[in-house]
A and B are shown apart, each in its own frame.
Chain A
Amino acid sequence: MAPNRLLLILGCALLPLVLIALMMGPVFISPASLLHALLQALGGTGEGRVTSQDGLILFSIRFPRVLLAGLVGVCLAVCGTAMQGLFRNPLADPSLIGVSSGASAGASLMIVLGGGALLEGGQFAGLSVVALGAFAGGFLAVILVYRLATSSTGTSVATMLLAGIAISALAGALNSLLSFVADDEMLRRISLWQMGSLDAANWPRVWIAAAAVAVVMLLLPREGAALNAFLLGESEARHLGIAVDAVKRRLILMTAMAIGISVAVAGTISFVGLIVPHIIRLLIGPDHRYLIPASALAGAMLLIVADAFARVVVAPAELPAGILTALLGTPFFLSLLAQKRRVGEG
């Protein structure tokens, strides 16, 4: 498929998808009611511009939630693309550099140490203490991995891979230890948190995630040519005039920041970072100049759809979105693999 065509298709499909997702939920909102609320919000002035029940649901619950799903999807997919390029491995994903397990450990620590009181009351800029713990844990793990792999001669990707495994194991052990000492209520919180869910969406979280997406989508596409050259190998990239170590540092920092934030606002949602770049690469090839924007759009769409289903399949209860990303993405991915236009994909 021509890359521009895929970008066009994805771009056109995003808006209808968002609108459909806005209607879906325990309370179904009809298209007419959605249109009415949107027009009211656009045209209205002053306070109380949206008064209907549907409008309230839309603007205080659905909108933040759908937007957050889209933004987190962008972060996960785009950072997955960057990591697969950096590690020259189509099986890499952001969890490889320790960010997911670090965040899990950070969140568990807050759940166990904080206990009930802190969980209910402790808020900072719309983020719970648990979310802050997750961000700190994820970021700390990545910085540690990066430090371990960096010497006077530069950063070794191979060492980074090993350090990532080691730090992940360490964080995993810490996580298990915390689960062991936790009581039943904490244990349930920990395991639910690890499945990832968007049910805590609110406007402050949307703005934080939007800031992360803005930074990543502004900076990462500039590394497209460098990432393409990276696929040849580091020495070759250097011979092509790429400042290899500076690129690596920027990619790692961006990933730590974006994934740290997305984990903080939505928990660990696996699979998107691994599978979305993969799917796009099967469709349009590995050129990062197209791969990055296309993955961003597809990542947003996958998570929006997964979260919409998460809200309705067991309504009024909810499934964690992380379960659904895997359930929805896998069949699609497998069917693509079966057709496999570009054989030889590592």
Chain B
Amino acid sequence: MSLSAHNLSLSLSGTPLLNAIDLDVLPGKISTVLGPNGAGKTSLLRVLVGELAPDTGSVTLNGRALQECPAIQRARTLAVLPQHSLLNFPFTAAEVVMLGRTPHATGIAHDREVVAQALQAVDGDYLANRIYTQLSGGEKQRVHLARVLAQIWESSPDGERYLVLDEPTSSFDLAHQHLTLEVVRSLADKGVGVLMVIHDLNLAARCSDQMFLMQCGNMVISGTPQEVLQRETISRVFQVDASIGVHPLSGTPLVIT
């Protein structure tokens, strides 16, 4: 059981964006996609969640072709946090999180409970009755994080659950960056497969079980943080000189530039 890409290729109006990508997101593991701007990270995510159809190759969700999964089943097992949200209607934060319960039919009382727990998980209980459109950028992003958490909060009879996040930490301060990673880790511990696009190599090194490093639509290397974050690889892909140290507390690689 996994969320898997098999030999994905994609080009948009003649420009190749993805080239023969293979990737597995495993339940209970945190995988991160890294790479410089324009490497194809977001395109890969969009194909993986079914927003774009690949030219060749396929995506499978728990062994089933993604396009053949009924919409509700897919929504109960795969949640997606986009980088930006278009929402500009004055829902309360709790109402926004409640939208994550749309594919579920578990009853309003239970849904409210899940919403409260999800908001609490992102340090957002105090936001519950605030108007979404009045929140700061970071608060909005946390509300949406709580929304996707609420969507896959409990194990589903439809199969293993997956969470895909596009740069979830980009608008967060330091404390909330780490909070996000903790949330994602505890989710993985409950058996959810997580895939994140992340720019901060050190943040990625601390939380990843599996790393995918991309450049110009190709998968350069995949493996554990120790395997991926090598000096030559970093300088080749990101065009910067870096030294690799060891994080004094976690023992994970530390990229110093």
A235 contacts the other chain (CB 8 A): yes
Query: Once the chains bind, are B102 and A346 in contact (CB under 8 Å)?
Result: no
Query: Once the chains bind, are B133 and A287 in contact (CB under 8 Å)?
Result: no
Q: Interface range on chain B: under 10, 10 to 19, 20 to 34, or 35 or more?
A: 20 to 34
Query: Once the chains bind, are B90 and A345 in contact (CB under 8 Å)?
Result: yes
Whole-angstrom distance from the CB of B7 to the nearest CB of chain A? 23
Interface size on A, residues (CB 8 A): 25
Query: Once the chains bind, are A346 and B88 in contact (CB under 8 Å)?
Result: yes
Known: A240-B100, A240-B103, A241-B102. A285 touches B90 (CB 8 A): yes
A303 contacts the other chain (CB 8 A): no
Measured in the bound complex, the distance between the Cα atoms of B49 and A50 in whole Å is: 67
B173 contacts the other chain (CB 8 A): no
A236's closest neighbor in chain B, by CB? B82
Query: Once the chains bind, are A232 and B75 in contact (CB under 8 Å)?
Result: no
A239's closest neighbor in chain B, by CB? B80
Measured in the bound complex, the distance between the Cα atoms of B134 and A228 in whole Å is: 19
Q: Residues of A contacting B78 with CB < 8 Å?
A: 239
Q: Residues of A contacting B134 with CB < 8 Å?
A: 343-344
Q: Residues of A contacting B133 with CB < 8 Å?
A: 342-346
A70 contacts the other chain (CB 8 A): no
Q: Mark interface residues in B77-99 (1 if CB within 8 Å of A CB, else 0).
A: 01110100111111110011001
B142 contacts the other chain (CB 8 A): no
A88 contacts the other chain (CB 8 A): yes
Query: Once the chains bind, are A232 and B99 in contact (CB under 8 Å)?
Result: yes
A15 contacts the other chain (CB 8 A): no
Q: Residues of B contacting A238 with CB < 8 Å?
A: 50-51, 71
Query: Once the chains bind, are B90 and A281 in contact (CB under 8 Å)?
Result: yes
Whole-angstrom distance from the CB of B183 to the nearest CB of chain A? 19
Known: A233-B85, A344-B131. A285 touches B91 (CB 8 A): yes
Known: A233-B85, A241-B71. A342 touches B90 (CB 8 A): yes
- When the two chains form the complex, which single residue of A229, A235, A285 contacts B102, counting CB atoms closer than 8 Å? A229
Whole-angstrom distance from the CB of B68 to the nearest CB of chain A? 15
Q: Mark interface residues in A199-224 (1 if CB within 8 Å of B CB, else 0).
A: 00000000000000000000000000
Query: Once the chains bind, are A233 and B71 in contact (CB under 8 Å)?
Result: no
- When the two chains form the complex, which single residue of A235, A241, A243, A285 contacts B82, counting CB atoms closer than 8 Å? A235
Whole-angstrom distance from the CB of B197 to the nearest CB of chain A? 15
A287's closest neighbor in chain B, by CB? B95
Measured in the bound complex, the distance between the Cα atoms of B144 and A208 in whole Å is: 44
Query: Once the chains bind, are A287 and B75 in contact (CB under 8 Å)?
Result: no
Query: Once the chains bind, are A239 and B91 in contact (CB under 8 Å)?
Result: no
Q: Residues of B contacting A88 with CB < 8 Å?
A: 86, 88-89
Q: Which of A228, A231, A235, A239 has the most CB of B within 10 A?
A: A239
B74 contacts the other chain (CB 8 A): yes
Known: A344-B131, A344-B134, A345-B133. A236 touches B85 (CB 8 A): yes
Interface of B with A (CB < 8 Å)?
49-51, 71-72, 74-76, 78-80, 82, 85-92, 95-96, 99-100, 102-103, 131, 133-134, 151
Closest 5 A-B residue pairs measured CB to CB?
A: A241-B75, A344-B133, A241-B103, A342-B90, A286-B89
- What are 25 A-B contacts defined by CB distance under 8 Å? A88-B86, A229-B102, A231-B87, A231-B89, A232-B86, A233-B86, A235-B51, A236-B82, A236-B85, A239-B75, A239-B78, A240-B100, A240-B103, A241-B76, A243-B71, A281-B89, A285-B92, A285-B95, A286-B90, A286-B91, A287-B91, A342-B133, A343-B90, A345-B89, A346-B133
Starting from the known contacts A241-B102, A287-B95, A346-B89, 11 additional A-B residue pairs (CB-CB under 8 Å) come to A225-B102, A228-B102, A236-B85, A238-B50, A240-B75, A240-B100, A240-B102, A281-B89, A286-B89, A344-B90, A345-B89
